């Protein structure tokens, strides 16, 4: 019996998924149906035996990626959403399928069959595939064997392009599927990169750190930190008003990184 967690805040959508599962005759036990980010975080605060998550992205109190960023997710995820701009982020997590609402039985069946194919692999084969995926998506080294990093950005505008040195960027952030760089003057630059992960892979991790799902900072501009909550910190950056918040899951790594 497949243990499934359903994350969906719309009752009609919950019923539709359960109906499709019934129509396909799948041997499924829905261990819980949750409608909010907070309830899901509480659910995963202790170890859970889950085989699959079926998740909407926009939940009652926020975005589901907040859950997957802060919690240890033990299984694949089938995403169901009315929005098409999140698909890159979905596959950066444990996503194996991205179903756009309204979807039908056949689309769900294809996603389920993919889940079955993945989970029926021998464990060592599954681990090998995960390692190969990391190799495929890793940035290519230069000819001397040392990894090369992006040093300047090409910024498109109405008349062509202009350029910004990476060293001048205080932090990067993603908003509504668009990535921006913010320089020392506070000016925002609309980047060509489609996701923050795409940009992150081109930067030197000794100098840049992903403090949460949507913000990537440069070390040289971090002036100070202060306690934000029990398990997270707030960052003061040079030339910036206010603070940026490091997520709970990233705070331990950030503390180690900033001292190097």
DSSP, collapsed to helix, strand or coil, labels residue 2 as strand
Q: Kindly calculate the radius of gyration of the chain based on its CA atoms and give it in whole angstroms.
A: 21
| Residue 147: strand pairing partners | 141
Instruction: Quote the CA–CA distance of 90 and 79 in Å, as a whole number.
Output: 7
| Residue 81: strand pairing partners | 100
Instruction: Quote the CA–CA distance of 9 and 214 in Å, as a whole number.
Output: 23
pLDDT at residue 23, as a whole number: 94
- The H-assigned helical ranges of the chain are 11-23, 37-43, 65-70, 87-92, 105-119, 123-137, 196-200, 251-258
Tell me which residue of 78, 79, 86, 84 sits closest to 112, measured CA to CA: 78
Tell me which DSSP letter residue 146 carries.
S
Domain boundaries, the chain: 2-137, 152-258
Residues of the chain with pLDDT under 70: 121-147
Instruction: Quote the CA–CA distance of 199 and 150 in Å, as a whole number.
Output: 9
pLDDT in tens, 243-252: 999 998 899 9
pLDDT at residue 140, as a whole number: 46
pLDDT at residue 132, as a whole number: 46
Total-model pTM? 0.51
pLDDT at residue 128, as a whole number: 46
In sequence order, the 6+-apart residues with CB closer than 8 A to the CB of 216 are 171, 172, 173, 196, 199, 200, 203, 208, 209, 210
Domain 2-137 belongs to what topology?
A: Rossmann fold (3.40.50)
- Show the 3-state SS of 31-88: EEEECCHHHHHHHCCCCCCCCEEEECCEECCEECHHHHHHCCCCCCEEEEECCCCCHH
Number of other residues whose CB lies within 10 A of the CB of residue 97 = 21
Establish whether domains 2-137 and 152-258 are of one fold. Answer: no
pLDDT at residue 147, as a whole number: 61
| Residue 229: strand pairing partners | 232
pLDDT at residue 72, as a whole number: 80
Number of other residues whose CB lies within 10 A of the CB of residue 162 = 11
- Note the CATH number of domain 152-258: 2.40.50.1020
Asked whether the CA dihedral 151, 155, 161, 164 is positive or negative, the reply is negative
Instruction: Quote the CA–CA distance of 43 and 53 in Å, as a whole number.
Output: 12
């Amino acid at each position: 019996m497949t243990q499934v967690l359903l994350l969906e805040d719309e009752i009609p959508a919950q019923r539709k998924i359960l109906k499709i599962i019934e129509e396909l005759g799948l041997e499924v036990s829905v261990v819980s149906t949750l409608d909010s980010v907070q309830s899901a975080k509480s659910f995963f605060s202790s170890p859970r035996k889950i085989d699959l998550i079926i998740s909407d992205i926009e939940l009652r109190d926020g975005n589901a990626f907040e859950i997957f960023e802060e919690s240890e997710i033990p299984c694949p995820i089938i995403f169901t959403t009315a929005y098409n701009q999140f698909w890159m982020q979905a596959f950066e997590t444990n996503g194996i399928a991205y179903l756009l609402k309204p979807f039908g039985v056949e689309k769900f069946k294809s996603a389920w069959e993919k889940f079955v194919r993945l989970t029926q692999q021998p464990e060592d084969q599954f681990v090998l595939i995960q390692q190969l995926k990391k190799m495929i998506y890793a940035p290519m080294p230069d000819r001397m064997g040392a990894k090369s990093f992006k040093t300047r950005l090409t910024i498109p505008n109405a008349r062509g392009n202009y350029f910004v040195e990476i060293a001048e960027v205080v932090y990067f952030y993603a908003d509504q599927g668009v990535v921006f760089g913010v320089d020392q003057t506070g000016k925002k630059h609309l980047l060509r990169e489609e996701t923050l992960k795409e940009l992150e892979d081109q930067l030197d991790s000794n100098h840049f750190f992903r403090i949460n799902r949507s913000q990537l900072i440069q070390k040289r501009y971090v002036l100070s930190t202060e306690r934000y909550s029990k398990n997270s910190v707030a960052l003061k950056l040079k030339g910036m008003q206010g603070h940026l918040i490091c997520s709970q899951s990233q705070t331990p790594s950030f503390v180690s990184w900033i001292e190097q």
